[in-house]
């Protein structure tokens, strides 16, 4: 198998590709190669002399060959010359490299800083004449192409080479899940430390005003988002909402609409939702309804929000009659699951998120269940202060990525929950009833854990799965510190709420159950006796 670069760095002359690339290589203990230095070695003369003697077309041909060789057979950090990505054959080579999982980094420096560095460096045949005028003209031609051929965009304005290198490492090590499909505007979910650094890039140049909607407990992370937004030149309206489910009400939404109206938000402005699942649900709902839909970005800060609420375009608020009965299907421009935010999570709120992770394992990706089994003790004893940089961080990153991929699979072909997407509701029929009867004192992931045990019991009663699989639900969820039983209400109350469930059709109950791990089916209108028997089994 071909050895491919860890990352390829491109950018304008003077962007610091060589200096930053060397820093990245040094920090990661990897070799570094500079395309221009390799070309000089290949042709046996300095680039300006080669340019003068043979002309630019001959130089570009040699350059393209050298780059193609290195993209196939070099395992370090590889930096390209400023004009290299303009050559069509190099563009194709870079696309192939990205197709194999490669990271092409556009090092986007402040133009003034880059021009000064380029002038100081000298020896640049492309800047002959009025150097600044030539640089600006080349920037105008090259910037759109650099955006096109790269899949990681790093702004370096005001950063030292070491600071820029750290930012490159953070962004290159992130996991990206691309979500697309019929009726979906494609978007990416970025998972990893520093994912929030992509905020300005995802919002783009059109918005002038940004409503930053967040809860009080995530103030530290909202401060970071606000700083990034202001650096990006946006006008920021800071909107604090109540934490958890009390933030998901029509009263809170109305208060935000009033603010947006007073502050002159137009259709071209945008919303950033930052916080747990309830905060991102509400922010998405506000974005979907303001002027019939404005751009929004999700920055989930809890494990549950990263794996569940932030992906898939479900937005909504609660009413006195139930959860999420008012809402909209509206996809974000991007989701930034910055894992540094998990370091501030209390243990019980982290564990709650594992309920939705396990659900994705049961309904589609059994490897999730194996990872949960293997690391159950470490996950159950999660300690935010010791999390970043620990071996557990990579385990959690993989669990988030796999869970998001399961969700993306179900939503990409069924945005509006007419078929396949309903399978994501495994464990939710009873789970939502528990949340309502507990007045939302029970956290969503915990309620879903009990709901999955209930669904497994019901499937066992109906002859769809054996006792071993029911027991496996109980043992795995218990080993993670999740609840598997509930005693907080009567069957009559639960049954009434199940009839109001979004999956119910007319007066008939409808459940999502397994007939084997990774395979989900609908169970339509089971007898009330069977539904009650399954309920009795989860009461102890």
3-state secondary structure 266-297: CCCCEEEEEECHHHHHHHHHHHHHHHHCCEEE
Q: Is 16 annotated as a binding residue?
A: yes
DSSP-based three-state secondary structure for 152: strand
Element (H, E) at 24: helix 17-28
Q: Is 492 annotated as a binding residue?
A: no
Helix orientation angle between 528-537 and 444-461, rounded to the nearest 10 degrees: 120
Residue 320: closest CA among 496, 440, 449:
440
Q: Is 356 annotated as a binding residue?
A: yes
Res 226: pLDDT: 96
- pLDDT category at 129 given cuts 50, 70, 90 is low
- Angle value at C-alpha 428, between 425 and 431, nearest 5 degrees: 170
Which residues make Cβ contacts (< 8 Å) with residue 330, sequence separation at least 6? Answer: 284, 285, 287, 288, 293, 296, 313, 315
Q: Is 15 annotated as a binding residue?
A: yes
Q: Give the chain's radius of gyration (CA, Å).
A: 26
Res 120: pLDDT: 67
Q: Is 95 annotated as a binding residue?
A: no
Take residue 29 and report the two structure tokens written for it: 């203990």
Q: Is the pLDDT of residue 123 over 60?
A: no
Res 127: pLDDT: 53
Q: Is 237 annotated as a binding residue?
A: no
Q: Is 416 annotated as a binding residue?
A: no
- The fraction of the chain above a pLDDT of 70, given in percent, is 94
Res 499: pLDDT: 85
- pLDDT category at 186 given cuts 50, 70, 90 is confident
Q: Is the pLDDT of residue 245 over 70?
A: yes
Query: Which one is the CATH code of 175-345: 3.20.20.150, 3.30.70.330, 3.40.50.300, 3.40.50.1970?
Result: 3.40.50.1970
pLDDT mean over 512-538: 94
Which residues make Cβ contacts (< 8 Å) with residue 275, sequence separation at least 6? Answer: 213, 214, 215, 217, 218, 241, 243, 299, 300, 301, 302, 305
Q: Is 346 annotated as a binding residue?
A: no
- The fraction of the chain above a pLDDT of 90, given in percent, is 65
Reported residue count of the chain is: 540
Fold agreement (7-173, 175-345): yes
Q: Is 58 annotated as a binding residue?
A: no
**Tens digit of pLDDT for each residue in 423-438?**
889 999 999 999 989 9
Res 75: pLDDT: 92
Q: Is the pLDDT of residue 125 over 90?
A: no
3-state secondary structure 503-518: CCECCECEEEEEEECC
Q: Is the pLDDT of residue 100 over 90?
A: no
- DSSP count for the chain of H helices, then E strands: 22, 16
Take residue 50 and report the two structure tokens written for it: 């080669």
Query: Which one is the CATH code of 7-173: 3.30.1330.10, 3.30.300.10, 3.40.50.300, 2.70.160.11?
Result: 3.40.50.300
Which residue do the tokens 């029929």 mark? 429
- The neighbour count for residue 281, using CB atoms within 10 Å, is 28
Which residues make Cβ contacts (< 8 Å) with residue 292, sequence separation at least 6? Answer: 267
Q: Is 131 annotated as a binding residue?
A: no
Q: Is 76 annotated as a binding residue?
A: no
**Tens digit of pLDDT for each residue in 355-389?**
999 999 999 999 999 999 999 999 999 999 999 98
H-type helices in 290-389, by residue range?
A: 303-304, 347-363, 366-374, 376-380
Res 214: pLDDT: 95
Residue 465: closest CA among 513, 431, 510:
513
- pLDDT category at 56 given cuts 50, 70, 90 is confident
Res 414: pLDDT: 53
20 contacts 13 by C-beta, under 8 angstroms: no
Q: Is 110 annotated as a binding residue?
A: no
Q: Is 279 annotated as a binding residue?
A: yes
106 strand-pairing partners: 10, 153
* Angstrom distance (rounded) from CA 371 to CA 399: 8
Maximum distance among all alpha carbons in the chain?
90
Q: Is 466 annotated as a binding residue?
A: no
- pLDDT category at 282 given cuts 50, 70, 90 is very high
Take residue 457 and report the two structure tokens written for it: 């019991």
Q: Which of 66-70, 190-194, 272-276, 307-311 has the lowest mean pLDDT?
A: 307-311
Q: Is 314 annotated as a binding residue?
A: yes
pLDDT mean over 90-106: 91
Q: What is the mean pLDDT of the chain?
A: 90
* Angstrom distance (rounded) from CA 76 to CA 63: 18
Res 324: pLDDT: 75
Res 326: pLDDT: 85
Res 419: pLDDT: 60
Q: Is the pLDDT of residue 20 over 70?
A: yes
pLDDT mean over 288-295: 94
Res 409: pLDDT: 86
Q: Is 14 annotated as a binding residue?
A: yes
**Tens digit of pLDDT for each residue in 461-515?**
999 999 999 999 999 999 999 999 999 999 999 999 998 866 565 578 889 999 9
* Angstrom distance (rounded) from CA 48 to CA 351: 60
- pLDDT category at 285 given cuts 50, 70, 90 is very high
In angstroms, the Cα distances linking 181 to 71, 139, 151, 329, 408 are: 31, 34, 20, 14, 9
DSSP-based three-state secondary structure for 462: coil
CA torsion through residues 56, 62, 64, 67, sign: negative
Q: Which CATH architecture has domain 414-537?
A: Up-down Bundle (1.20)
- pLDDT category at 227 given cuts 50, 70, 90 is very high
Is pLDDT larger for residue 124 or for residue 518? 518
pLDDT mean over 377-404: 95
Q: Is the pLDDT of residue 234 over 70?
A: yes
Q: Is 243 annotated as a binding residue?
A: yes
Q: Is 60 annotated as a binding residue?
A: yes
Res 311: pLDDT: 74
Domain boundaries, the chain: 7-173, 175-345, 414-537
Q: Is the pLDDT of residue 338 over 60?
A: yes
Is pLDDT larger for residue 246 or for residue 376? 376
3-state secondary structure 378-411: HHHCCCHHHCCCCHHHHHHHHHHHHHHHHHHHHH
Q: Is 305 annotated as a binding residue?
A: no
Phi, psi of 538 (to 5 degrees): -95, 10
Q: Is 44 annotated as a binding residue?
A: no
Res 207: pLDDT: 94
User: Residue 486 carries which DSSP code?
Assistant: -
Q: Is 402 annotated as a binding residue?
A: no
pTM given for the model: 0.82
């Amino acid at each position: 198998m071909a050895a491919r670069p860890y990352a390829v760095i491109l950018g304008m002359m003077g962007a610091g590709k060589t200096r930053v690339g060397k820093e990245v290589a040094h920090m990661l203990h990897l070799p570094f190669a500079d395309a221009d230095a390799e070309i000089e070695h290949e042709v046996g003369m300095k680039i300006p002399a080669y340019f003068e003697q043979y002309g630019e077309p001959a130089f570009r041909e040699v350059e393209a060959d050298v780059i193609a060789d290195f993209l196939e057979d070099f395992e370090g950090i590889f930096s390209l010359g400023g004009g290299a990505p303009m050559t069509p054959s190099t563009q194709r080579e870079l696309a192939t490299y990205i197709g194999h999982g490669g990271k092409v980094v556009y090092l986007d420096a402040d133009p003034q800083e880059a021009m000064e560095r380029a002038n100081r460096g000298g020896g640049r045949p492309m800047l002959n004449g009025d150097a600044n005028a030539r640089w600006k003209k080349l920037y105008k031609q090259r910037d759109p192409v650099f955006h096109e051929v790269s899949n990681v965009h790093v702004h370096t304005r005001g950063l030292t080479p070491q600071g820029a290198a750290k930012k490159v490492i953070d962004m290159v090590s992130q996991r990206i899940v691309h979500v697309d499909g019929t009726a979906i505007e494609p978007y990416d979910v970025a998972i990893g430390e520093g994912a929030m650094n992509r905020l300005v890039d995802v919002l783009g140049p059109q918005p002038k005003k940004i409503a930053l909607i967040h809860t009080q407990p995530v103030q530290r992370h909202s401060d970071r988002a606000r700083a990034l937004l202001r650096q990006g030149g946006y006008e920021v309206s800071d909107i604090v909402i109540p934490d958890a489910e009390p933030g998901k009400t029509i009263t809170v939404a109305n208060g935000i609409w009033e603010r947006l109206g007073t502050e002159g938000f137009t259709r071209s402005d945008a919303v950033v939702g930052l916080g747990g699942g309830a905060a991102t649900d509400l922010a998405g709902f506000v974005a979907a309804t303001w002027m019939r839909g404005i751009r929004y970005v999700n920055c989930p800060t809890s494990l549950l929000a990263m794996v569940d609420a932030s992906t898939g375009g479900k937005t909504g608020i609660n009413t006195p009659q139930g959860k999420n009965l008012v809402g909209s299907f509206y996809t974000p421009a991007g989701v930034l699951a910055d894992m540094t935010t998990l370091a501030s999570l209390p243990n019980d709120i982290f564990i709650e998120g594992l309920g939705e992770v396990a659900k994705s394992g049961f309904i589609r990706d059994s490897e999730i269940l194996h990872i949960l089994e293997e690391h159950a003790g470490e996950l159950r004893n999660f300690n935010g202060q010791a999390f970043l940089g620990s071996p557990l961080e990579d385990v959690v990153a993989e669990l988030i990525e796999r869970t998001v991929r399961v969700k993306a699979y179900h939503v990409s072909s069924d945005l509006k929950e007419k078929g396949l997407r309903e399978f994501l509701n495994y464990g939710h029929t009873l789970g939502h009833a528990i949340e309502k009867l507990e007045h939302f004192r029970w956290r969503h992931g915990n309620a879903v854990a009990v709901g999955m045990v209930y669904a497994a019991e019901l499937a066992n009663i109906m002859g769809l799965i054996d006792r071993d699989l029911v027991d496996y639900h109980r043992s795995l969820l218990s080993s993670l510190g999740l609840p598997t039983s509930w005693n907080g209400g009567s069957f009559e109350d639960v049954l009434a709420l199940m009839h109001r469930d979004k999956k119910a059709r007319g007066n008939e109950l409808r459940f999502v159950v397994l007939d084997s791990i990774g395979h989900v089916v609908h169970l339509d209108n089971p007898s009330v006796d069977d539904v009650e028997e399954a309920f009795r089994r989860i009461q102890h």
